[in-house]
Amino acid sequence: MELPLLKDADVKGKRVLVRFDYNVPLKGEKVVDDTRLKESLPTIKYLLEGHAKVIIMSHLGRPRGKAVPEMRLDAVAEHLSELLHKDVEKVNDCVGGEIKAVAESLNEGEILMLENLRFHSEEEANDEGFAKQLAELAEIYVNDAFGVSHRANASVVAITKFLPSYAGLLLQKEVETLSKLIDKAKRPFVAVLGGAKVSDKIGVIRKLAEKADYLLIGGAMMFTFLKSEGKEVGRSLVENEKLEVANSLLNEEVILPVDAVFAETADSSETEVVSVDSMPKDKKGLDIGPKTVEIFSEKISSAKTILWNGPMGVFESEPFSKGTFELGKAITFSGATTILGGGDTIAAMERAGLKEKFTFVSTGGGAMLEFLEGKELPALAALKGKK
Ligand code: ADP
Ligand code: MG
């Protein structure tokens, strides 16, 4: 890999500024899902064992350039402190003279957490002056925030101009796993795509149609593909402006559902399973049907590598969750190398109790899609430029 790696840095006695993606759900003063905090522990522990002084930064939510009390990182600092059994000092800003003084007073093995970076609009503007102020707090910079690496933000791009910069352990693993998937996946390689919109994922659909042996399509996006073949899809979610592109992507390796679960709305419990050749005009398709689950499961059972992004149906509502949950079972029982991505897909697998059974769960939703598509992520390009 061409990225400069944390394990090649000399961190002993140094102030190391680490960017994590701690954009976690909060409820009042509590962190509701601490997955991202837990995933950052290896890098933090590595730095502590290496006698570094650790300064952590992150964004949370969309405060749009001003301090929003509910988006402060205090609850995150407290939760991290519990996970580490160690004090985490939290300050109320991320730049300025006072913050600099606190950073300079850190001892080896101590941890400081800065305030939400997005309280300053300069963060998302990739402002160099702001990046320089952040850089003045430390001697080494580490990016461990794959989930924001597709954004040209000051804390992941501009900052690399001012400090020796490295990829953290999580970022490294994420990039290595996804690179391997694209360049040397064990075959058969089956990609499963679903979710709300074709337009969100068109780039990755195109890439996977080329790289994977089979591309299984479910979720709302299936209806755009089915309609592009001239089928009646009723009131299902369709992107009419994507019909042509969708049609151009179809080939023998792209497998579309043969049946679907239809209903009045996502709240109705009255459902009907129909063939895709007789979808009712006055109803919506909200899940893949049982025959489709069978066909998809068969492809999955013979795969050596499986990538999954996007739920097969409106899994949030019980009558339409079967397709997603059954595929989750098939994928995790396949014995293949399995990679799971996408905020909603991960949430679905968590709910099904299957998340831990995947070989790798990618933390970056949009970043993962852009990476798989073959786009150069700005933050990774910035790090590579340092090597
Ligand atoms: P991810 O976050 O995993 O990338 P997306 O955000 O693309 O996934 O899509 C997830 C959403 O798609 C879910 O909220 C789900 O309810 C919705 N969805 C899936 N299938 C359908 C469908 N047939 N009709 C409407 N919405 C659907
Ligand atoms: Mg989503």
Q: How far is the CA of 194 from the centre of ligand 1 (A)?
A: 7
Q: What is the mean pLDDT of residues 203-232?
A: 95
Is there an atom of ligand 1 within 6 Å of 343 CB?
A: yes
The reply to whether the predicted model has a pTM over 0.85 is yes
Residues 98-121: pLDDT tens digits? 999 999 999 999 999 999 999 999
Task: Please tell me the residue having the least CA distance from ligand 1 atom 9.
Answer: 195
DSSP letter for each residue of 285-329: EEEE-HHHHHHHHHHHHT-SEEEEES-SS-TTSGGG-HHHHHHHH
Q: Is 190 helix (H, G, I), strand (E, B) or coil?
A: strand
Q: Does pLDDT of 365 surpass 90?
A: no
Residues 276-300: pLDDT tens digits? 999 999 999 999 999 999 999 999 9
Q: What is the mean pLDDT of residues 301-322?
A: 97
Domains annotated on the chain, with CATH: 6-171 (3.40.50.1260), 185-373 (3.40.50.1260)
Which ligand 1 atom sits nearest the alpha carbon of residue 260? Answer: 23
> Quick count: other Cβ atoms within 10 Å of Cβ 188?
16
Pocket test for ligand 1, best of 344, 363, 370 (most atoms within 8 A of CB): 344
Is there an atom of ligand 1 within 6 Å of 4 CB?
A: no
Is there an atom of ligand 1 within 6 Å of 160 CB?
A: no
Pocket test for ligand 1, best of 274, 314, 324 (most atoms within 8 A of CB): 314
Is there an atom of ligand 1 within 6 Å of 285 CB?
A: yes
In degrees and rounded to multiples of 5, residue 30 shows phi and psi of -120, 145
Token code pair at residue 321: 């969750």
Q: What is the mean pLDDT of residues 16-20?
A: 98
- pLDDT averaged over the chain? 96
Q: How far is the CA of 97 from the centre of ligand 2 (A)?
A: 39
Task: Pick the ligand that lies closest to the CA of residue 235.
Answer: 1
Q: How far is the CA of 52 from the centre of ligand 2 (A)?
A: 37
Q: Does pLDDT of 154 surpass 70?
A: yes
> Quick count: other Cβ atoms within 10 Å of Cβ 325?
21
- Catalytic machinery residues: 36, 197, 343, 366
pLDDT value at residue 364: 84
Instruction: State the pairing for strand pair 259-263/284-288.
Output: antiparallel
pLDDT value at residue 1: 56
pLDDT value at residue 182: 86
200-215 burial, b at 16+ Cβ within 10 Å, e below that, comes to: bbbebbebbbebbbbb
Q: What is the mean pLDDT of residues 188-216?
A: 92
Share of the chain above pLDDT 70, in %: 100
Residues 227-277: pLDDT tens digits? 999 999 999 999 999 999 999 999 999 999 999 999 999 999 899 999 999
pLDDT value at residue 225: 97
pLDDT value at residue 377: 96
Q: Is the N-terminal amide bond of 188 cis, ω within 30° of 0?
A: yes
Q: What is the mean pLDDT of residues 42-70?
A: 97
The Cα diameter of the chain in Å comes to 71
Q: How far is the CA of 283 from the centre of ligand 2 (A)?
A: 24
Q: Does pLDDT of 345 surpass 80?
A: yes
Contact (CB, 8 A) for 201 and 369: yes
Q: Would residue 65 be called left, alpha or beta, if left means φ above 0 and alpha means ψ between -120 and 50 degrees?
A: left
> Quick count: other Cβ atoms within 10 Å of Cβ 152?
17
Q: Does pLDDT of 387 surpass 80?
A: no
